[in-house]
Amino acid sequence: MSLTKTTLRIFLITSILFLSVDYTLTAFNLFPKRPDVSIFEGKKLRIGHEIFHHGFSPKHYGTQVWSNKLYEVCTDQHSFKISCSNFSNETEKNFDIAFIGDSFTEAIGMEYEDSFVGMFAADKSELHVANLGVSSYSPTIYLSKLKHLIANGYKFKHIFIFIDISDIQDEARYFYTKDDRVRPYIENKFVRSIGNDAMYDIVTDDLYLGLSEHLKLTSLLYSIIKYQEIRPASYKIPTRIPDGEWTYNNASLDYGQIGVTGAIKKSLDMMEKTYDLLSENDIKMSIGVYPWPNQIFSDKLINNRQSEIWKAFCKNKCEYFVDLFADYSTLLNSSSPSEVYSKYFILGDVHFNKAGNKLVFEAIKRTISEGLDFSN
C-alpha cells in the first residue's frame, strides 16, 4: 500500500473516531459546565465603603467571572487593582500617575496585564502607577474617593479621569453629602430601565451554532480556525442600552426627575469640584472619553455630545484630553459597525476586550508627548 493511501486511511480512521467521541460527549452532555455566575456575586472583592460608597477589598487574590469568563483579579494593600504576578506588600503612598474611572478603567473581565492601565504601567515602568477605577463609579465618587485618599496621605502627581458614557446616568443615582460622603440619591426617584431584545442586534454563525449542538469539540476547532479564538456561536450586540442613550436622546426617562440635562449639570459640577481639589494639591488632571456600542451603532462619533462636553470642560484645566471617538470614527471608515464591535468589545457586552484596551492605551501614548517626565 502506498504512503499516500496509508496516510489517508489513518486520517479517515482518526477523524471517524474523533467525531464519534465528540458526538457521544455532546449527546450525553459530558463536558464541564461553564460557571453561570456574575462577578457581582464576588463578596471578597467588591465591598461597600463608608465614605465613597463602594470599592475593592485590600490584598485580594482570587478568580472572578465576567461574561462566563474566568479571570484573576488582585488588589494591593491600598485596594487598587494590580498584576497578580507582582503581588507585594508595598506600603508606599506616593504615585506618579493614577487612573480613575468605572468598569472600563477597572477593565472588568480583563486581567491587569490586558487592561489599558496595565499596558501603560508596563510601558512606563519607571513610573509608580495606580488604578483607582471600580465598576459603577462616576464624578461624585471620583471626587469623594480622591478627597479621601489625599486626606489620608496619598500623593499623586497626575490623575487621568476616564469618564464613561454611563457616568451621566450614574450621577442620577448618587448624592454628595456635606461631609464628603456618597449616598444614594433617593430624592431623584431614579429608576433604571431593563433592556429588551429590541435594543440588541443578534449575530449568529449558523454553521458554528449547528456544530455546537451535536459536535462541541468540532465546533471549538471551527471557531479557532475561523476566528483565531473561542467565541460564542450566537451573541447580542448591545446597540441601544438605556444607560448610554443620553448622547442622542435628551428626552430619555432613565435619568430620574433631574433628567439628562440635570445629570449632565451634576456631573460637570462634581468635576469642577474635583479640578479644584486637584489644583489645590498641585496635581495635574487629564480626561479621557470613549464610545459605547450605542454610539458606534446609533450616533455620530465626530462632535459627539460626550466628546464635546468634556473637551469644553478640559479647556484651561486639563493637561491632556484623550478622545477615542475619533479613533472609532476612523475605524468605521473602513469597517462595518458589527466588525468594529466584534474586534474591540467583549462579545455580548459593552466593555472593551484586550484589543479595545490596547486601543485606549495607544491613544494615551499618542496623546502624551514622548518627552513627558513625571519625575519633576
Mean pLDDT, 10 residues at a time, the chain of 376 residues: 83 92 88 56 80 95 86 94 85 95 98 98 96 98 98 98 97 94 89 72 93 92 91 92 93 92 98 98 98 96 97 96 97 97 96 98 88 44
Provide the whole-model pTM.
Answer: 0.91
What is the crossing angle of helices 3-27 and 216-227, to 10°? 110
Separation in Å, CA 193 to CA 20, 38, 292, 338: 47, 19, 17, 25
The DSSP element (H or E) to which 13 belongs, if any, is helix 3-27
Q: What is the DSSP letter of 33?
A: P
* pLDDT per residue as tens digits for the range 161-197: 999 999 999 999 999 999 999 999 989 887 767 666 6
* pLDDT per residue as tens digits for the range 325-344: 999 999 999 999 999 999 99
Given the C-alpha cell 486511511, which residue does it identify?
9
Residue from 192, 212, 191 nearest 27 by CA: 212
Q: Are 350 and 293 in contact (CB under 8 A)?
A: yes
* pLDDT per residue as tens digits for the range 219-255: 999 999 999 888 999 999 999 998 899 999 999 988 9
User: Quick one: how far is CA 105 from the chain centroid?
Assistant: 6
Half-sphere exposure (Cβ direction) of 346: Cα atoms closer than 13 Å: 18
Q: What is the DSSP letter of 254?
A: T
* Class of residue 201 by CB neighbours under 10 A (exposed 0-12, middle 13-18, buried 19+): middle
Domains in the chain (CATH in brackets) are 39-194+244-336 (3.40.50.1110)
163 forms bridges with which residues in the sheet? none
CA Rg value for the chain: 23
The pLDDT of residue 203: 92
